Amino acid sequence: MKAFGDIWRSNLFQKWLMAITGLFLVLFLLGHLSGNLLVFLGQAHINEYAHGLRTMGHGAVLWGARIGLLTFFILHVASAITLSRRNRQARPQKYAKVEARSSTLASRTMLYSGLLLISYVLYHLAHFTWGAVHAQHYAQATFILPSGELVPDVYTMVVKSFSEPLITVLYLLSMVMVGLHLNHAIASAFQTLGVTNRRIVPMVRTIGPALSILIALGFSAVPLAIILGLVKI
Ligand code: HEM
């Protein structure tokens, strides 16, 4: 038991935990993004998809995924805070110049961009999942699927929300934050997991920025298209 505790507390284990949970969260983002892009195929597609997610396995699949996602999220944040605290304790004096040269702005601000991301996720859940903010847009409308089922109209909720410039700006700024956080995070996760092969390292260096740009631009496409009037009710 003590051996397990020692491993759990070790820096190496905490780094692995942060990397692996982070990569799973990236997979979630890719899945979420592909679902969101259904907005461009029209109202029926996105509403059918959202309804399918909610009712799959009588709701058990969605709840299973939510519990898994929350667990990964908590482990990711906890390991990040633990490592950052240990780093600071181990190095009380700031080597400002050395750090600035060897690291990027994103890498030096990972903890802060991460904490901002948590605020974004809470706001986002309050907006689209709980209807606690911008309640005037929250799934008031219903939609009849081609199968005849009456379901919540996610499409109308999203389009009405992003027709408000303030909401769109808040989301777009948050997506810049998502991009900056992932840009450093993906490359650093692979490094932690020991991807050091000379042929793979350049690929990883490309995959990190490419994926972060794809995710940030992909998520931004929906609010941008709506505010520009390209997607409407
Ligand atoms: C412009 C970008 C985004 C849009 C338009 C969007 C849209 C949505 C919508 C409509 C829902 C609710 C679906 C339903 O009615 O069941 C949702 C849920 C969710 N979104 Fe997003 N999303 C965006 C970006 C993000 C990002 C970047 C993250 C994470 C960092 C995220 C995390 C979540 C989570 C955790 C849920 C709750 C899933 C659940 O438990 O039901 N979203 N999103």
Cα–Cα dist 179/211, whole Å? 9
Tens digit of pLDDT at every position of the chain (233 positions): 788 888 888 999 999 999 999 999 999 999 999 999 999 999 999 999 999 999 999 999 999 999 999 999 999 999 999 998 888 888 655 554 444 444 667 677 898 999 999 999 999 999 999 999 999 988 778 999 999 999 999 999 999 999 999 999 999 999 999 999 999 899 889 889 888 788 888 888 898 899 999 999 999 999 999 999 999 98
Question: CB-hemisphere CA count at 13 Å for 100?
Answer: 4
Best of 27, 33, 113, 129 for a ligand 1 pocket test (most atoms within 8 Å of beta carbon): 129
- Single out the residue of 50, 70, 152 nearest to residue 118, CA to CA: 70
Q: Which domains does the chain have, with CATH numbers?
A: 2-227 (1.20.1300)
Which sign, positive or negative, has the C-alpha torsion 71, 10, 119, 226? Answer: negative
Best of 128, 154, 215 for a ligand 1 pocket test (most atoms within 8 Å of beta carbon): 128
- pTM, entire model: 0.91
CB of 171 within 6 A of ligand 1: the answer is yes
- Single out the residue of 112, 216, 231 nearest to residue 171, CA to CA: 216
Contact 207, 150 (CB under 8 A): no
Torsion region of 87: left, alpha or beta (phi above 0 gives left; psi -120 to 50 gives alpha): alpha
